[in-house]
Amino acid sequence: MPPLKPPPERAVPSGRLSRLGQFGRLAGGVAGGMIAEGARRLAEGERPSVRGMLMTPGNFARLADRLSHLRGAAMKLGQMISMDAGDMLPRELSQLMAGLRERANHMPPQQLQKVLAREWGADWRRRFKRFEPTPMAAASIGQVHRAIALDGRDLAIKVQYPGVRDSIDADIDNVATLLRVSGLLPKELDIAPLLEEAKHQLAEEADYRREGEQMTHYGALLADEADYVVPRLDAEFSTGQVLAMDYLAGEPIESLVDAPKDERDRVMTALLSLVLRELFEFGVMQTDPNFANYRYQSDSGRLVLLDFGAARSVLSETSAAYRRLIEAALAGDRTEVRAAALAAGFVGEGAVARHGERIDAMIDVVLAKLNQPGPFDFGDRGFVELLREPGTAVASDSAAWHVPPAAILFVQRKISGTALLAARLRAEVDVRALVAAQLGEGIAA
């Protein structure tokens, strides 16, 4: 597989025609790669399939490179795919998509200057003692710079890439088309409602005024909590496409992988507790589980929470659905777990009717793992392999395909992403005690 190169400076295509041209270049490059791969296989005496010619490391690299260049919704979808469906994708594609989480190109200085002059005025530099021209982070929708204001305020300033907000709908439609053509997205699966919801959420993420309000709301919710710290909004420098906040030092959350076990366990207990409070107490959840949204302050032991663009309300019926599912799971009641999963839309009636025994077997594996005595060992992934065979059999049956409601999907994305981080840190957490503290009676700790 071609190695990933460090992200260079690359101007963000901001106009509709220029972005469409990038997708055209990607399609042309992929087609050329298919022709070359087909010729190679024919020369070796093979009968090449369309899928085999398409799914090559070279084409995967072209896809990741072009999405990194486009940024915006195109890249965001690639990141979401890597976290939500990584186990379902070919390993090479999953790895390259995962690389998108750290691989965004940043704007060249001329383009950055143009954006900030539009938002702050041509003489904006006079408002700072120092403004670092090289971003300390670059992601799908914007890049973050450190700056010192004239009065000494130490700030982190997120600058949105030009054209991102206006390109969301077209980018999502274009990526969906690429996935359809590649065969990664089955033709029989109706994802139109999910695509519309994704467009809505990404439009909210591109509204930095809204994100500032959500950040302030979370700061108020967690103001008296010793485990978390949220940056404060800096209203002077914030606009619809620039978000300014306190700079909070911290190390990447993944750096805890080498920390003492009790520290890893404590941090993940705090994060999982926060997810439960979002779901059952706050009524709002930051639904993007990207690891870059968390930093860790080793001196204070606090978690820095970042990026609130994906914060969204949690419907009361969604909370009720999870309550029913969790209570059934911790009671070890397979029949009620299946009924709760079906009622919430986690699985479809077709899957239960055609693969009831396999689904029950998968539920039994999860229940056995969840109800083992002692803390839940997220680092023990042996049960995942036990789920793979029945899960693959169900997924390969087009009559069993089902898209859960968007409200469930976004919440589940946060839960799954947090569990993935716990697995990365090999943490052990008393999940039953956390749930009992949140849901109260009916849960035995």
Among all residues, which ones are annotated catalytic? 288
**Tokens 């940024």 sit at which residue?**
71
The one-character DSSP state at 310 is T
The CA-CA-CA angle for residues 67, 96, 93, to 5°, reads 100
Give the integer Cα–Cα distance in Å for 308 and 215: 6
Burial class (CB in 10 A: 0-12, 13-18, 19+), 311: buried
**Residue 248 CA to its chain's centroid (Å):** 22
Dihedral sign for Cα 198, 203, 206, 212, please.
Answer: negative
Other CB atoms within 10 Å distance of the CB of residue 213:
14
For residue 84 the two structure tokens come to: 């939500």
Other CB atoms within 10 Å distance of the CB of residue 205:
26
Give the integer Cα–Cα distance in Å for 94 and 75: 14
The three-class DSSP label of residue 186 is coil
Pairing of strands 284-286, 294-297: unpaired
267 contacts 425 by C-beta, under 8 angstroms = yes
Burial class (CB in 10 A: 0-12, 13-18, 19+), 218: buried
Indicate the helix (H) or strand (E) that contains 411.
helix 406-424
Amino acid at position 270, single letter: A
For residue 384 the two structure tokens come to: 């995942």
Q: Which of 75, 98, 77 is closest to 86 using CA atoms?
A: 98
Give the integer Cα–Cα distance in Å for 312 and 152: 34
DSSP β-bridge partners for residue 208: none
Give the integer Cα–Cα distance in Å for 90 and 112: 36
Indicate the helix (H) or strand (E) that contains 12.
none
